[in-house]
Amino acid sequence: MSFEGQVAIVTGAGGGLGREHALALARRGAKVLVNDLGGAVDGSGGSVSAAQAVVDEIKALGGEAMANGASVTDWVAVQAMVQQAVDAWGRVDILVNNAGILRDKSFAKMYMDDFRLVVEVHLMGAVHCCKAVWPHMQAQNYGRIVMTTSSSGLYGNFGQSNYGAAKMAQVGLMQTLAIEGAKYGIHVNALAPTAATRMTEGLMSAEVLAALQPEAVVPAMLVLAHASAPTRTILCAGAGSFEAAHITLTEGIHIGLGEQAPELLAEQLAQVCDRRNEQVPQSGSAQGTLEVGKALAARAPT
């Protein structure tokens, strides 16, 4: 799987998964802009030295890379980062939105500032980067964007209401950008990784962490960033295992006009939630159309 001649931006690539992503893309021929704020796991502090160290590693392998120390929360700095790649290499083919922080607390103890900052980094950081690369990808009729979501967003985790909400928001961003990007050849996907990094150290046993090598996530990122990538896929990856997560819709029921009492719905809730014949609507409006279709079918003379 080659990335020869392509230009990639990987955010938060000064360590952990982002570093592995940047190295893997570079090894396969991409020119990589390595972004990292270089702060602590809670987002405090910062230095470009983390990004520069990964650039040095890529150059030592014979690859081409540039460092950037912008915070993805800074819209002006993110635009300058994308311009830095375009000025040097003429295009941006791949954006991997990987930068992230944690500020875990149970919701009862959560400070609003910690909630806001986590949303700002994960959601608005991804929004800024997508918005800045979008016109370039549209103009060249090609782009691959990889969001980094999380099982915390998809399925919840104690103490991660801020992080889970921000991570699931990236899935919502993916859904609409994939629809809007389709006619420009822009594919947008989400990666849900599990890996032993500074983010997960102390959260799992040493035995589990030993199995969760960050390199084991990289094939999933490469598949989502490649020319052959699908679009609107949520790919889970950890310890060499790969799964797809779907936001599905049950077949449900229809209750006729004039009969729509909550008691009747409550009685049939098990059938509404029955997962046999689930489907994945192609868009939000397609889901609405399905509902209207059921109503019309119920009204049609038999």
| Near ligand NAD by CB under 6 A: residue from 7, 8, 9, 18 | 18
Q: Does 95 bind ligand NAD (CB under 6 A)?
A: no
CA distance 155 to 168: 9
Q: Which stretch binds ligand NAD (CB under 6 A): 25-33, 34-42, 52-60, 263-271?
A: 34-42
CA quadruple 231, 234, 238, 242: dihedral positive or negative?
negative
Choosing from 111, 142, 155, 163, the catalytic residue is: 163
Judge whether 155 counts as a catalytic residue: no
| Near ligand NAD by CB under 6 A: residue from 9, 66, 72, 129 | 72
Query: What is the four-CA torsion angle of 74, 196, 19, 227, rounded to 10 degrees?
Result: -90
Q: Which stretch binds ligand NAD (CB under 6 A): 25-33, 84-92, 197-205, 221-229?
A: 197-205
- Beta strands 186-194 and 94-97 are unpaired
* Other C-beta atoms lying within 10 Å of the C-beta of residue 1: 12
Our CB check for ligand NAD shows the closer of 128 and 142 to be: 128
Our CB check for ligand NAD shows the closer of 142 and 169 to be: 169
Length of the chain: 302
Q: Tell me how far CA of residue 163 lies from CA of 61, 115, 228, in angstroms.
A: 35, 8, 30
| Near ligand NAD by CB under 6 A: residue from 10, 23, 36, 129 | 36
Our CB check for ligand NAD shows the closer of 40 and 298 to be: 40
User: Residue 196 contacts by C-beta under 8 Å, 6 or more apart in sequence?
Assistant: 204, 209, 210, 212, 213, 214
CA distance 194 to 212: 7
Residue given tokens 């939105």 in the structure block: 97
Q: Does 148 bind ligand NAD (CB under 6 A)?
A: yes
64 half-sphere exposure, CB direction, 13 A CA radius: 12
CA distance 41 to 44: 7
Kindly write out the interface string for residues 100-119 of this chain, putting x where it contacts ligand NAD by CB under 6 A and - elsewhere.
xx------------------
Q: Which stretch binds ligand NAD (CB under 6 A): 57-65, 68-76, 179-187, 250-258?
A: 68-76
Residue at 291: amino acid letter: E
| Near ligand NAD by CB under 6 A: residue from 193, 221, 223, 233 | 193
DSSP 214: G
Q: Does 124 bind ligand NAD (CB under 6 A)?
A: no
Our CB check for ligand NAD shows the closer of 35 and 189 to be: 35
Which residues of the shown chain bind ligand NAD in the complex (CB under 6 A)? Answer: 11-12, 14-18, 35-39, 41, 43, 50, 71-73, 98-101, 121, 125, 148, 150, 193-195, 197-200
What positions carry a catalytic annotation? 163
